[in-house]
Chain A
Amino acid sequence: MKVSLFITCLGEMFYQDVAKDVVEVLERLGCEIDLPQGQICCGQPAYNSGYRKDAQKAAKQMITSFEDATYIVTPSGSCAAMFKEYPDLFKEDKEWQERAQAVADHTYEFTQFIVNVLGVEDVGAIYPARATYHTSCHMIRLLQETEAPFKLLKNVKGLELLPLENSYDCCGFGGTFAVKMVPISEQMVDEKIRHVEESTAEVLIAADGGCLMNIKGRIDRKEKPIEVKHIAQILNSRA
């Protein structure tokens, strides 16, 4: 199966190891991957800050890069949700709207693609640890994908998945919210970390680079002994 990978700007800039794990997992599941060279960023930072025109520039670049793809897969619920927003972003421009719709229709978040398109729930991973999972807001509410990551994690050998109190509450990332509303964001991420600690997990897993960057950044600042992992890192583990 041919898959066009949108690795995300955060993935390319900061999380190359996660990006490699994504490639290896998908290849193991029989996908033939290409990496469209024109890809950059989905445009969400500008879009959510109110800079629609600048977001459109980013979106056009992505649409042009991905419009020939059969499946577009990205290891970020939030970036996938932004692709789904593209038709609305171009609602005053029929031609771009149609092109945007084609891209949106073929876009999947990484775990969503594995479970719902490939029909796989056990990728043969082994990761012995006590872990909990952060359901990022854009993944569960905008993309409405609430099950795929859990189905996959359930089948990871050795992984004990613990419930996370108030898992539905945002971690305080919210893109530019994290830097515009620092004191509020701080309280939100601290409450999230408190719940992670209460879960007694050693590892926090998520499927969104932004949330991971926020939560890990705060965990490291507070020197908490909790590891933070992208779900692709777990799914690509063998021991």
Chain B
Amino acid sequence: MPMKIGEKPFFDRVDDALDDDFMRNAMASAQDRLRDKKLDITERDDQIGDWEEWRSAGAEIRRHTLENLDFYLDQLSENFAEKGGHVYFAKTAEDANRYIQDVAKKKNAKHVTKAKSMVTEEIGLNEALEEVGCHVHETDLAEYILQIDDKDRPSHIVVPSLHKNKGQIRDTFQEKAGYTGTEEPGELTAFARSQLREVFMEADIGITGCNFAVAESGSISLVTNEGNANMVTTYPDTQITVMGMERLVPTWEELDVLINLLSRSAVGQKITTYVTNLTPDVDEGCVDAPKDFHLVILDAGRSNALGTEFQSALHCIRCAACVNVCPVYRQIGGHAYGSIYQGPIGAVLSPILGGYEEYGELPFASSLCAACTEACPVKIPLHEQLIRHRENYVAEQGNAKTSEKMAMKAFGVGASTPSLFQIAVKGAPTFMKPLVRDGSISKGPGPMKPWTAIREFPAPGKDNFRSWFKEHKKGRK
């Protein structure tokens, strides 16, 4: 499954991540920097006004769009087709890949350039295109780095190569692309640029993702900082845009709000260097427009969330604000999630798209601190959805360990039978006495074991609070 990253089980991936000091330092400092820049431009910048009002507007736009998704998808596809574009609704990743393979075959394409394409990572499009003899060239700097480094995978939704430093990038360039320069970022970038110039010129097809599609005009909108998307969409005669079926807005007015929310939430920028809006205009004969423009609208599991408590997960605008504040992501990085969608939104989205069998552990990889919910610019209740996933996982899927189910059953009984609880409170000091050394428990049996693996467990207090309280009340009368 292309969405998947790594073959190892979850805890092995976590161990690998925790052993990687460089990566962890990179994550922590990137989080601190991104979080601070975001706060600067949302809460401390008086130009934007009340950030909470912006969030409410964003949430309302996304809610309205998703509640009327069929209407806006119809509108988008009609308007796109009316101007000469081709629309294809792909039910699965395979459907999308097959359609794109067919276009490539018809064009006899040899070289494909790509930009802004998280969703094509999700469906494994590069491999599909290679199957039909295409050379696929990633043109966003970070994706380019990952591609030439033996197809390494993204570790962050917005900054895909966050887990690498400039020294590693220099080494990769030297080993894989004949680079002879230093690790100075300007020099590295100039090298990548010189390599990509040729590629842009010879591309037969340009492929992009889609930040938003505007239903009222049948346009797609891309926000970029490097401008490569403009090269990808301008040179070849054929363009294919792949979008998740939820990534649309009704009109340009809503686009304005969402782009403000996106760039500020993602990297703390007021606006990105480029906002590229593309509408097919085959009949107009515009010289630099693609003659053949395809829009692939992808379901691939998204409709699983429609009409359920997870519908608002589809509100996500892929800004990674939740990733940038998640204390778990901070420690384990992106690859440990085993999905190209990492962090809190990844833990919510991956099981929706890929199922519990593959991604059932992710909802538990959260302390439910709600930093994600607080950060989300379109107010997705992420931590609540993680709890909903846990409920589904243990109840419907029968996935939980029997011992845990028994423990929770016992909890249910214990927490609704006061007499039992009082027996436990009174009995605990005696019962646990053999384990107590110097006022705490260092090595606990059974369910206490994982706790005491790294921490002391408190010894139960010897006094009985209820008895004390009773006496205390008498004394006050």
State the CA gap A39–B365 with chains docked (Å).
Answer: 31
Once the chains bind, are A47 and B465 in contact (CB under 8 Å)?
A: no
Once the chains bind, are B331 and A184 in contact (CB under 8 Å)?
A: yes
State the CA gap A136–B11 with chains docked (Å).
Answer: 27
From A43, A48, A60, B390 is in contact (CB under 8 Å) with A48
CB contacts (< 8 Å) of A151 on chain B: these are none
Interface stretch among B98-106, B233-241, B285-293, B392-400?
Answer: B392-400
CB contacts (< 8 Å) of B389 on chain A: these are 50
Tell which of A52, A168, A181, A191 has the most Cβ of chain B within 10 Å.
Answer: A181
Once the chains bind, are A177 and B367 in contact (CB under 8 Å)?
A: yes
From A13, A173, A216, B367 is in contact (CB under 8 Å) with A173
Once the chains bind, are A221 and B411 in contact (CB under 8 Å)?
A: no
Once the chains bind, are B466 and A51 in contact (CB under 8 Å)?
A: no
Interface stretch among B42-50, B190-198, B273-281, B412-420?
Answer: B412-420
Please tell me the number of chain B residues within 8 Å of chain A, measured between CB atoms.
Answer: 70
CB contacts (< 8 Å) of A180 on chain B: these are 364, 450
Which residue of chain A is the closest to B428 with respect to CB atoms?
Answer: A13
CB contacts (< 8 Å) of B331 on chain A: these are 184, 187-188, 191
State the CA gap A23–B224 with chains docked (Å).
Answer: 58
With contacts A35-B466, A188-B328 known, is A45 near B455, CB below 8 A?
no
Once the chains bind, are A51 and B412 in contact (CB under 8 Å)?
A: yes
| Chain A facing B: main interface SS | helix
State the CA gap A231–B365 with chains docked (Å).
Answer: 29
Interface stretch among A14-22, A105-113, A123-131, A152-160?
Answer: A14-22
With contacts A14-B458, A40-B415, A48-B390 known, is A137 near B370, CB below 8 A?
yes
A4 adjacent to chain B (CB < 8 Å): no
State the CA gap A157–B388 with chains docked (Å).
Answer: 45
Once the chains bind, are A51 and B408 in contact (CB under 8 Å)?
A: yes
From B454, B459, B468, A20 is in contact (CB under 8 Å) with B468
With contacts A58-B416, A172-B327 known, is A23 near B447, CB below 8 A?
no
Tell which of B18, B28, B416, B457 has the most Cβ of chain A within 10 Å.
Answer: B416
A7 adjacent to chain B (CB < 8 Å): yes
With contacts A16-B468, A172-B367, A179-B447 known, is A49 near B415, CB below 8 A?
no
From A39, A48, A57, A182, B454 is in contact (CB under 8 Å) with A182
With contacts A37-B466, A51-B412, A58-B415 known, is A218 near B455, CB below 8 A?
yes
Please tell me the number of chain A residues within 8 Å of chain B, measured between CB atoms.
Answer: 68
Once the chains bind, are B454 and A12 in contact (CB under 8 Å)?
A: no
Once the chains bind, are B461 and A13 in contact (CB under 8 Å)?
A: yes
Once the chains bind, are A11 and B465 in contact (CB under 8 Å)?
A: yes
From A35, A61, A186, A220, B456 is in contact (CB under 8 Å) with A220
Once the chains bind, are A35 and B454 in contact (CB under 8 Å)?
A: no
State the CA gap A174–B364 with chains docked (Å).
Answer: 10
With contacts A12-B425, A174-B368 known, is A214 near B455, CB below 8 A?
yes
Which residue of chain A is the closest to B409 with respect to CB atoms?
Answer: A54
Nearest CB in chain B: distance from A42 CB, A: 9
Nearest CB in chain B: distance from A179 CB, A: 4
CB contacts (< 8 Å) of A186 on chain B: these are 454
State the CA gap A214–B333 with chains docked (Å).
Answer: 23
Which B residues contact A (CB, under 8 angstroms)?
11, 14-15, 18, 24, 28, 32, 325, 327-328, 330-332, 364-371, 373-374, 387, 389-395, 400, 404-405, 408-409, 411-418, 421, 424-425, 428, 440, 442, 447, 450-451, 453-461, 463-466, 468-469, 472, 476
Q: 10 closest Cβ contacts across the A-B interface?
A: A174-B367, A50-B390, A217-B455, A54-B412, A58-B415, A137-B369, A170-B369, A141-B370, A179-B450, A50-B394
15 additional contacts, CB 8 Å, given A35-B466, A51-B391, A191-B330?
A7-B465, A13-B460, A20-B468, A23-B472, A37-B418, A40-B415, A48-B368, A49-B404, A141-B374, A174-B368, A178-B367, A179-B450, A183-B15, A187-B18, A217-B457
